[in-house]
Amino acid sequence: MEKIDSTHSFLTITMPSSSPFLLLLMLFFVVTDTVYSEEEEVKTTFIVQVEHDTKPSIFPTHRHWYESSLSSSSSIIHTYQTVFHGFSAKLTPSEAQKLQALSHVITLIPEQVRHLHTTRSPQFLGLKIADRAGLLKETDFGSDLVIGVIDTGICPERESFNDRDLGPLPPKWKGQCVSGRDFPASSCNRKLIGARYFSAGYEATNGKMNDTLEYRSPRDSDGHGTHTASIAAGRYVFPASTMSYARGMAAGMAPKARLAVYKVCWNAGCYDSDILAAFDAAVADGVDVVSLSVGGVVVPYHLDVIAVGAFGASEAGVFVSASGGNGGPGGLTVTNVAPWVTTVGAGTIDRDFPADVVLGNGKIIGGVSVYGGPGLSPGRMYKLVYAGSEGGGDGYSSSLCLEDSLDPMVVKGNIVVCDRGVNSRAAKGEVVKKAGGVGMILANGVFDGEGLVADCHVLPATSVGATAGDEIRKYISLGWHSRSPPTATIIFKGTRVGVRPAPKVAAFSARGPNPESPEILKPDVIAPGLNILAAWPDGVSPSGVHSDERRSEFNILSGTSMACPHVSGLAALLKGAHPAWTPAAIRSALITTAYTVDTSGDSLLDESTGNVSSFFDYGAGHVHPEKAMNPGLIYDISSYDYVDFLCNSNYSAKNIRVITRKGADCSGAKRAGHAGNLNYPSLSAVFHQYGKQSMSTHFIRSVANVGDPNSVYKVTVTPPPGTVVTVEPNTLSFRRLGQKLNFLVRVQTRAVKLSPGTSTVNTGSILWSDGKHAVKSPLVVTMQQPLQ
């Protein structure tokens, strides 16, 4: 799992799109830093793409054919036949090289290990059950739409997954309910209509699963999958809360949508071969939406199994929503950036859980927590210590409150200040509690800024921002040099609703620009992802700490993992309202109707700094479900358009075939322009100055009328500072629904003074309006000064 509290270290691997297979083997040897004889070669998992249609008739099945290509020491992990054609197997480098030489083998992709990116949000989004009209009523709450959740499985007994008043299974459904440990076939119902698990890839690397620690079944032993599934499609449940916090009605975005879960994530991570098998099964089963809160390093699309699987799903008409990652607030951290994937960042909602620190000097410092146990003694002030200077250990490990790093002689009976990072936030509290501490203040580092995440701690604890952390540490330092030793207490204030301003861009939410395709703005949109209440398994503590014996039907979690299923559920609702819409059309509706102002009417702020956010932080803005139902115009994209995009991105014909499973002739595409000409609802221009004084580019776009049959749209241009932007024509006159019209956007700019290797970004927008619909596209202009 990519917890929000990881070390924030992200590896980005970039290679030329035409990288030959030998480069992959070189990369393998660089990583292992060891040379082996053929007998000693270490095996690793590869995903093998084959010429599906060239199977000799002598083989009864493709699997038999694939097995004939392998040595006796290797066996097939998975076969793929829907979104990808081929198989996965564990191979030595020499076996991989021999396999690559076979005429029917197109490519081998080294496996990555992925990690998970880890109420009130329906009301905050404007989805109201009592409305006589609107997106929920229009689509019968998502009934008969199927959302496939690729995650850690599900706890089927939760009330969020009951099937009361639901009709029979959709006729198109072809999936299965696979039984396993503590998951009989009767676990499925008319709500949870499918459940599978994929562990072969995980076990190929880690050995046979320990059934005492993990369920060899679709049952969720982590909690992440249950949480995301209920955000996407949980039923209405009242009352709902966790540890008495966030009391109210819990509901997913599409309460009547059907769920199919595909468990691919285990204690050691989520393995590419299993993820691709889940994509393959989900599309074959008949899902309408795939929700994927999993990510990894950014690599070219032909080496990215999520991108490859998502392309196959999109081509089959399946909308794919993926979390953008929790690497924020730093730039270039967004993941799952393929243009056929809807990439989701995280925003805050108008609810929080204040838990204030009161210092001995009378200063009150705001924090957040969902601690639900015995509190500190009322009116009593406790000695306050900073683990980094007084906790014992080596200073670094004690400051982070890592396992066995604290000295009980120093900590016992005191409130301990711990720095955020490395281990999970709740685990730090367990370390403090084991050492005898009575409470914890968890302080953000400089990188985390002022963004606060509420946790269900195992002892009285609260989280404070970076500035507050510095103030508290300074108070401790000064206190020990005076006659008044530092003291503090924590006051828990429960749930607060109506927080303004909201939303903000969550501090942890990964940011652009797009590391692989800067011409495509990512993330696409943001959705609620901070402190989200959703269903939780009965066998997992709300803190995730093994020693914690508390149990709750709901839990509060934060991450782009939580934002992603919000968009997945909304996509199901939009698909229900507009069955003919393609995945690109649905994404277009979400992007062009997104908003960029908060409840106070001001520009969206960055939670980590308090400053105004930008398109690289939130994409086109925060999703607006009701407006997305009737966007007026849509920017649609076909599979052929994506091929042209890949051609113009300098992908080779072979690598395009890996992604699309089809041959590609790039000669015509390259004559048509550049990668930015993909018919995307946002526009991003990147200028490399190279000593030029004036530069220009253009974007060709096509929009289809889905609003009123007879409508006239006029354009309003807000040019980025320092640019001249023209749109031709400036008026689009439609005479029927479905009619498509083209327009051209020309951007002209002049060079600016920059140091070598630096860049500057300016933003604007293109807005088409007929007086009823406002169809807005972000326009981003990046000026780069190459290294000399």
Name residue 108's beta-bridge partners: 48
Nearest to 514 by CA among 348, 675, 383: 675
* Alpha carbon distance 335, 332 (integer Å): 9
* Alpha carbon distance 182, 215 (integer Å): 8
- Point out the catalytic residue in the list 199, 321, 399, 561: 561
* Cβ 556 vs Cβ 531: under 8 Å: yes
* Alpha carbon distance 150, 374 (integer Å): 37
Asked if the bond preceding 513 is cis, omega within 30° of 0, the reply is: yes
Reduced to 3 states (helix: H, G, I; strand: E, B; else coil), residue 121 is helix
* Cβ 775 vs Cβ 715: under 8 Å: no
* Cβ 197 vs Cβ 506: under 8 Å: no
Name residue 555's beta-bridge partners: 534
Whether 538 is catalytic: no
Asked if the bond preceding 719 is cis, omega within 30° of 0, the reply is: no
* Cβ 148 vs Cβ 282: under 8 Å: yes
Whether 224 is catalytic: yes
* Cβ 501 vs Cβ 605: under 8 Å: yes
Reduced to 3 states (helix: H, G, I; strand: E, B; else coil), residue 148 is strand
- List CB contacts of 210: < 8 A, sequence separation 6 or more: none
Please give the distance of CA 336 from its chain centroid, rounded to a whole number: 7
Nearest to 540 by CA among 463, 402, 445, 426: 426
Whether 144 is catalytic: no
Q: In what order do the strands lie in the sheet with 294-295?
A: 265-266, 269-271, 113-116, 294-295
- Point out the catalytic residue in the list 78, 85, 121, 151: 151
Please state whether beta strands 289-292 and 146-151 pair in parallel, antiparallel, or not at all (unpaired).
parallel
* Cβ 565 vs Cβ 342: under 8 Å: no
* Cβ 695 vs Cβ 748: under 8 Å: yes
- Point out the catalytic residue in the list 117, 224, 457, 773: 224
Rg, Å, the chain Cα set: 26
How many residues in the chain? 788
Reduced to 3 states (helix: H, G, I; strand: E, B; else coil), residue 253 is coil
Q: So which residues are the catalytic ones?
A: 151, 224, 561
